[in-house]
Structure 1
């Protein structure tokens, strides 16, 4: 059975970031997301692979929230 589609709120919670960060990553870093109507939907496996590839990291290799802790 394939993974369920997640909302922006759910993927933000899954990653431990804010929803604003999710939207910024879609716009600026090519986070894998699918627009369905006016909603963004996500597959957790695609997003996890994207994060592991280092695409979410900033120029210093740290995600925005990781540096804020």
Structure 2
């Protein structure tokens, strides 16, 4: 079965961060994301692997998330 594509809102909720943090991570931390037209789309498995590999660690935006 094919994994569904998630929106920026969906992946932010999945990770428990704001959408602004997601966009910052795309630009500054290389978060796995795919641009389709004007929209960013995500695969939860790719993002989860990225987080487990330390991709989100050490970002100043983390502190604002609580």
TM-score clears 0.5:
yes
| TM superposition outliers: structure 1 runs of 4+ over 4 Å | none
Residue 47 of structure 2: SS of its match in structure 1?
helix
Structure 1 unpaired stretches of 5+: none
TM-score for the superposition, normalised by structure 1 = 0.87
Alignment CA distance shift 1:68-1:27 (3 Å): closer
TM-score for the superposition, normalised by structure 2 = 0.91
**Separation of aligned partners in 2, 1:11 and 1:24:** 13
- The residue aligned with 1:64 is 62
CA RMSD of aligned residues (A): 1.9
Higher relative contact order (CA 8 A, sep 6+): 2
Alignment size in residue pairs: 66
- The residue aligned with 2:53 is 53
- The residue aligned with 1:35 is 35
